[in-house]
Amino acid sequence: MTDVLIDCFAGFLTGGLALSAAWGFFWLAISLVGLSRGTCGRRIVFMSLVGGCVPLALALALVWWMGGLERMTSVFAMGLMGMPTVLAGLWLRRMPDGQWAGTHLAAGVRHLMENLLGMHQGCGDCHDGHDHPSQYS
């Protein structure tokens, strides 16, 4: 019984670390585009890289500690799906204004992407297609 709980908890933790690594690498891609456009600094790129690599290294260390991929059981796989399930449940939660929490998260991500990528204001987010200043120029 103890092995089942350990496998399930290790899967849950690994799933959370994998999601965190994916989130860090998502922001790494956004920040690299921002760096190439000159709207984002090297520190943001570095922090995004750290935000992706540290959880990935921890997840790999946990899988190695568990005995490698050949020791992974169906209980581990069920635990692995635990964190995405929790996040999906939180995504569908209603906020005090009546909107889904996921809508607020998507709006926040969109706002951060606009800041990092230096999208133009007042012209429908034309990116770098026009010769007029962005909000950061």
Which pTM does this prediction carry?
0.76
Question: What amino acid occupies position 24?
Answer: G
* CB neighbour class for 49 (10 Å; exposed up to 12, middle 13-18, buried from 19): middle
The answer to whether the CB of 27 falls within 8 A of the CB of 48 is yes
The answer to whether the CB of 79 falls within 8 A of the CB of 73 is no
Give, for all 137 residues of the chain, the pLDDT tens digit.
888 898 889 899 999 999 999 999 999 999 999 898 888 889 999 999 999 999 999 999 998 888 877 777 888 889 889 988 998 998 899 989 888 888 888 888 888 888 778 765 555 555 555 555 544 44
